[in-house]
Amino acid sequence: MNRVLMASRANLSDIAKALGVSVATVSNAMSGKGRVSQELGRAIREKAKELGYVPSLAGRALSTGRSHVLGLVLADIGHPLFPQFAQAIEHAASEAGYGVLIGDSRGDVEAQSRAIDRLIERGADGIVVVPRHGTRIADIGRPVAVIDSASTPGNTVAADHWNGGVEMGRHLLELGHRSIAIIGLHSDSNVQNDRIGGIREAFFGKGESRLVWIGEMERSLGSGCPLGLVRLVEEGVTAFAAVSDLHALRAITELQQGGVSIPADVSVTGFDDLIWAGVIAPSLTTMRMNMERIAEIAIADLIWQIERLNAAETAPALPAPRHPGRVPMQLIMRQSSGPVLGRSALGDRASVHVRSASSTATDPA
Amino acid sequence: MNRVLMASRANLSDIAKALGVSVATVSNAMSGKGRVSQELGRAIREKAKELGYVPSLAGRALSTGRSHVLGLVLADIGHPLFPQFAQAIEHAASEAGYGVLIGDSRGDVEAQSRAIDRLIERGADGIVVVPRHGTRIADIGRPVAVIDSASTPGNTVAADHWNGGVEMGRHLLELGHRSIAIIGLHSDSNVQNDRIGGIREAFFGKGESRLVWIGEMERSLGSGCPLGLVRLVEEGVTAFAAVSDLHALRAITELQQGGVSIPADVSVTGFDDLIWAGVIAPSLTTMRMNMERIAEIAIADLIWQIERLNAAETAPALPAPRHPGRVPMQLIMRQSSGPVLGRSALGDRASVHVRSASSTATDPA
DNA sequence: CTGAAAGCGCTTACAG
DNA sequence: CTGAAAGCGCTTACAG
């Protein structure tokens, strides 16, 4: 019989009975709200531990109207950055006593709203959204924290992509590069636009930068098509600044396959410090977001919104949390970016080694 | 006043009042359980829609003792495979009416149990675990589905890693390869061991395969160290079969940097079809898991366990779901693996091009 | 076919 | 400082 009791979880009422007090008192003691005498409080907590008491979130949720669960919606859960986000958000939320429910919009804009709706129906108190490029989050009648870029209207917090771009540009300038190609996917991403804007700002008046849009090339040549980077090298480009490590990886392999050596012949840099950045050869110089900090701020902001909602007119308005909307990025210098060497002869050298896969690339126009 | 009512969500009681019936009947009509007359049922559902009724999961959870939330715990949420898992699990769970709460064990074995505990405290009805290499999941007194490898005790469902290995081995044999190197991380992963075992089985008596353990090399040379693959090519290896696309990527870049051309000089293959497999140059031949199917089966099994728990002695025992513990993998042939060409001269050719980063690699012993 | 009632586990004013 | 009571929204036997 004892076993039977052990099997089903103890609840407040069990503790109350065991101690001959009321559940209200037990509840107060556990939450530290209503004042309970020191000794009774201690006795209750002890008994709770003894019985292996675990509060029922469902019961609490029902009476407080708050689930202590947050939703996390990403434009594309399949994106290689998702793990970093998920890990950081989960950690920050967990520290604050919240669980994280995932929603997937599979890269589909319309599905994004449905994912958010589902999360809300599931009772999420608030939602963290890393929106799809060019999407605007509608008012969903519940707290939302948007992580995108400072230039996105309604953005809550994000890495300082623009300045990250500036720093990356400066890094390349310091290495002696004066003609670079910036590689992006498409122009409707605020994050990419900011990074690109920053790089160009750094180069303004000090060197020239041209743009390679992968998305456009793929639209005509098909996914995974060569980007024609070797030709750019022949034209004098000495560095490729990709706005994502994924594109940087693509550039590195295409260049290597074309016989261009990195960083001896050209430099390549990326963004985000994705999983492979440290292990490919050469290892990739990249610009990393401070996910921990971003997640912390997003969660703090969300929780503030949630609590303000609960406080309503009762308490004096909670002061809005002061936080920077932009969190600095960090340059991780690795092997793929190096000083400009004697590259004048490179054009010839590269063309000699060019092999089919990349040499057949049409113009990067 | 109408607005006020709209603002706070409608509940069963609102519907009941509006129609002059009892909440029990409304509940029955909505769930389709107790029999309710056709017309009343229709009227109720109509009114529910009109009022924008969204059931309260908290209320339901409290009365049924089931949260309809599942936990997803991965050894390492930072693993590049996590997005695939998360997406597939989220989808399958969502189809079955369950939400997915994420837990992160940050690659730490002990943290894995704590992550599971936290998820349970949050009320998860069951847990999907993709365990850390070499970990055994303790009985947590709640339904669990383990996704690892068929050779893991207690495994619920997984890709057929062994056979995937066999198929990959055959693919390489068909291309004419007779001497290959298999690249793995470390030997305490069942998944890796199965994949390796399969490849070796295919090669048994038909060619030779040697093993490169990245983990061991890194322990002595540091993370991201060169793997000495060019030397292996000089010794006659014509193909590298990595048990993960991450290692394949490392191999490809190291070989390319060393002046070895892929697939003209050697073939490289991977596993998992990670995000970059299709876009690097050359694109990567790999073996893909059927995540959708695996997730479906894991979720179905989990839900069966959950329902059996509820049914208890009442109903006749639910028949256990019949499912294959091993889901076939699929070979994705891309450019990185090709037929063996005249490679006799390769040894010299490669050594000529070798550059510092990889040429200084010590023995892969 | 429909409804009254109890209960899931917790919190929160309100009395004492 | 402590407790009795109501209520959060739903479900589930059990009557009618």
* A274 closest CA partner among A250, A255, A239, A238: A250
Query: What CA–CA distance (Å, rounded) separates A7 from A313?
Result: 44
The CA–CA distances, whole Å, from A322 to A157, A194, B142 equal 11, 23, 42
Q: What's the pLDDT at B95?
A: 92
Which residues from B are below 8 Å from A252, CB to CB?
Answer: 253
Same domain, yes or no, for A322 and A265? no
Q: Is the peptide bond before A83 cis (omega within 30 degrees of 0)?
A: no
Residue from B179, B195, B194, B161 nearest B240 by CA = B179
CATH of the domain at A39: 1.10.260
CB contact residues (below 8 A), chain B span 133-162, against chain A: none
Q: Looking at the structure, tell me whether residues B277 and B304 fall in a common domain.
A: no
| Residue B25, CB, strand D, below 7 Å | no
Nearest residue to C8, CA vs C1'? B63
In this structure, chain A runs to a length of 365
Contact A89, A293 (CB under 8 A): no
Return the SS3 of B50. helix
Q: Does residue B249 sit at the A interface (CB-CB below 8 Å)? A: yes
User: Does A269 map to a domain?
Assistant: yes
Strand C close to A17 by CB, under 7 A: no
Would you give the DSSP letter of residue B62? H
- The structure's pTM equals 0.88
B87 lies within 8 A of chain A by CB: yes
Please indicate, yes or no, if residue B270 is contained in any of the structural domains: yes
Shared domain for B28 and B175, answered yes or no, is no
B31 and B48 share one domain: yes
Pairing mode of beta strands A179-184, B158-159: unpaired
In terms of domains, do A168 and A298 share one?
no
Q: Is the CB of A121 under 7 A from strand D?
A: no
Contacts of A121 in chain B (CB under 8 A): 54-55, 57
* C-alpha distance from B68 to closest chain A C-alpha (Å): 9
A357 neighbourhood in chain B, CB within 8 Å: 281-282, 335
- What band does B220 get if pLDDT is binned at 50, 70 and 90? very high
Q: Is B58 on the interface with A (CB under 8 A)?
A: yes
Q: Does A264 contact chain B (CB < 8 Å)?
A: yes
Q: Are residues A277 and A190 in the same domain?
A: yes
Q: Measure in Å the smallest separation between the Cα of A57 and chain B Cα atoms.
A: 6
Tell me the C-alpha distance between B302 and B145, whole Å: 6
The residues, any chain, with a CB within 8 Å of residue A322's CB and separated by 6 or more, are: none
Do A281 and B61 lie within an 8 Å CB cutoff? no
A249:B102 CB<8 A: no
Q: What are phi and psi of B175, to 5 degrees?
A: -80, -5
Dihedral over Cα of B39, B44, B48, B51: its sign: positive
Domains identified in chain A, total number:
3
A130 and A199 belong to one structural domain: no
Evaluate whether A298 touches A327 at the Cβ level (below 8 Å): no
The reply to whether A198 falls in a domain is yes
Within an 8 Å CB–CB cutoff, is residue A197 touching chain B?
Answer: no
- Give, in Å, how far the C1' of C5 lies from the CA of A261: 80
Of all residues in chain B, the one with the smallest CA distance to A261 is B257
Q: Which of A112, A121, A256 to mutate against chain B (most B CBs within 10 Å)?
A: A256
- Judge whether A81 lies within some domain: yes
Q: Show pLDDT as tens, one digit a residue, over chain A (365 residues).
A: 233 333 467 888 888 888 888 888 989 888 887 678 888 888 888 888 988 898 888 899 999 989 999 999 987 777 888 888 899 999 999 999 999 999 887 767 778 888 888 898 888 999 999 987 766 777 777 899 999 999 888 899 999 999 999 999 999 999 999 999 999 999 989 999 999 999 999 999 999 999 999 999 999 999 889 999 999 999 999 999 999 999 999 999 999 999 999 999 999 999 999 999 999 999 999 999 999 999 999 999 999 998 887 765 445 566 676 777 899 999 999 999 999 986 544 544 444 343 333 333 333 33
SS3 B151: coil
Tokens of A42: 């201690």
Q: What is the pLDDT of residue A303?
A: 92
- Chains A–B, number of C-beta pairs less than 8 Å apart: 176
Q: How far apart are CA B239 and CA A108, in angstroms?
A: 39
CB A11 under 7 Å to nucleic chain D:
no
> Which bases of chain D come closer than 7 Å to a protein CB?
1-5, 7-14
Contact across the interface for A62 and B59, Cβ inside 8 Å: yes
Q: Radius of gyration of chain A from Cα atoms? A: 27
Whether the CA torsion A280, A283, A286, A290 is positive or negative: it is: positive
Same domain, B172 and B269: yes
**Alpha-helix runs per DSSP H in chain B:** 2-7, 12-19, 23-31, 38-50, 57-64, 82-95, 109-121, 161-174, 190-203, 214-221, 229-234, 245-257, 291-311, 346-353, 356-359
pLDDT tens, residue by residue, B86-134: 999 999 999 999 999 998 877 677 788 888 888 988 889 999 999 877 6
Question: Which pLDDT belongs to residue A313?
Answer: 45
Element (DSSP H or E) covering residue A18: helix A12-19
Residue A31's domain comprises 12-55
Whether B272 and B335 share a structural domain: yes
B32 touches strand D (CB under 7 A): no
Residue B154 shares a structural domain with residue B184: no
B347-350, long-range: CB < 8 A, 24+ apart: B347/B233, B347/B234, B347/B235, B347/B236, B349/B259, B349/B265, B350/B230, B350/B233, B350/B234, B350/B258, B350/B259, B350/B260, B350/B265
Q: Which residues pair with A255 in a beta bridge?
A: none
Asked whether residue B35, judged by its CB, lies under 7 Å from any atom of the DNA or RNA strand C, the reply is yes
Chain B positions touching A281 (Cβ under 8 A) are: 226, 250, 253-254, 256-257, 357-358
Put residue A259 in one of left, alpha, beta given phi > 0 → left and psi -120 to 50 → alpha: left
- The Cα of A204 is separated from the nearest Cα of chain B by a number of Å equal to 31
CB contact under 8 A, B279 and A226: no
- Determine, yes or no, domain membership for A351: no
Nearest-angstrom CA–CA distance, B56 and A65: 10
Residues 6+ apart with CB under 8 A from B146: B129, B130, B131, B137, B152, B154, B155, B156
- Residue A323 falls inside a structural domain: yes
Instruction: For residues B151 and B172, state if they share a domain.
Output: no
* For testing contact with chain A, the best of B74, B106, B119, B253 (most A CBs within 10 A): B253
Whether pLDDT at B348 is above 90: no
Judged by CB atoms closer than 8 Å, whether chains meet at B279 and A246 is answered as: yes
Taking the CA of residue A63 and the C1' sugar atom of nucleotide D16, their distance in angstroms comes to 33
Do B232 and B307 sit in the same domain of this protein? Answer: no
Residue A6 has a CB neighbour count (10 Å cut-off) of 11
Q: Is residue B60 part of a domain?
A: no
**Range with lowest mean pLDDT among A291-295, A308-312, B36-40, B63-67:** A308-312
The protein residue nearest C3 (Cα–C1') is B22
Which CATH number do you get for residue A150?
A: 3.40.50.2300
Give the strand pairing for A208-213 and A179-184: parallel
Contact B318, B143 (CB under 8 A): no
Residue where the block lists tokens 């509608």: A138
Inform me whether the C-beta atom of residue A357 falls under 8 Å from chain B C-beta atoms: yes
Residue at A124 is within a domain? yes
Strands annotated E in chain A: 69-74, 99-104, 126-130, 144-146, 158-159, 179-184, 208-213, 239-242, 267-269, 286-288, 326-327, 330-332
8 A C-beta contact, residue A231 and residue A210: no
Burial of B348 (0-12, 13-18, 19+ CB in 10 A): exposed
